[in-house]
Amino acid sequence: MSVRERKERERAHRHQLIVSTARELAESDGWDAVTTRRLADRIEYSQPVLYSHFRGKKEILGAVALEGFAELTSALRAAASKGPAGRSTVAALARAYTGFATDNPALYDAMFSLDNGLPFAEESTPAPLQEAFAVLRDPLAEHAHPDEPGLFVETFWAALHGLVTLTRAGRLPAERLPDRLTLLVDRFVSH
């Protein structure tokens, strides 16, 4: 039965090719440019092939987003592991988060701004998602009011997300983003 295994392998490979191509296309030309036709063209198959791998465009978006959560997790982990939990680590986390967003704008959109169909804040939330949140939570928890670490992290995260989206949309001048980050960390970290 080796032929079936080979087919499955090829199929998995093509699955990944679709996700990667969608991501590249989005990162270079924006998500509006990621149409089923263009995507099919790039992978050198016809549109219906996409639908044999994914229910529709939204599910492709979700697959790309999932990749993003894994990468965000490792980016945050790298920032958090540098030093002891404290002000500098929180600042490093904040910088890592916004850095990730500005380095991968389309990826960030797939994760947080567009409708990717992934369940959040539920028991069925995929592992990479919960992990990313945990990496942000743990170093921050000690600065929170003892019984509400979740609330604290959520609010801090929301502030970061707001800064990211408003900056990228041109609503806030980008030059002073580092200063806003410093201000935010100062407000959230002191006792």
**Which residues here bind DNA, judged by CB under 7 A?**
3, 7, 34-38, 45-49, 51-52, 56-58
Nearer to DNA, 45 or 152 (CB): 45
Sign for the CA dihedral angle at 71, 72, 73, 75 comes to positive
Q: Residue 7 binds which entry of a copy of itself, DNA, none, with Cβ cut-offs from 5 to 8 Å by kind?
A: DNA
Contact between 176 and a copy of itself (CB under 8 A)?
Answer: yes
Nearer to a copy of itself, 7 or 176 (CB): 176
Rounded Cα distance between 91 and 189, Å, is 9
Q: Give φ, ψ of 82 to 5 degrees.
A: -70, -40
**Count of positions on this chain that bind a copy of itself (CB under 8 A):** 32
Rounded Cα distance between 52 and 92, Å, is 42
CB of 185 to DNA, least distance (A): 39
Q: Tokens standing for 154?
A: 């959520």
Rounded Cα distance between 137 and 87, Å, is 14
Window contacting a copy of itself (CB under 8 A); options: 13-21, 44-52, 78-86, 113-121: 113-121
Q: Residue 88 binds which entry of DNA, a copy of itself, none, with Cβ cut-offs from 5 to 8 Å by kind?
A: none
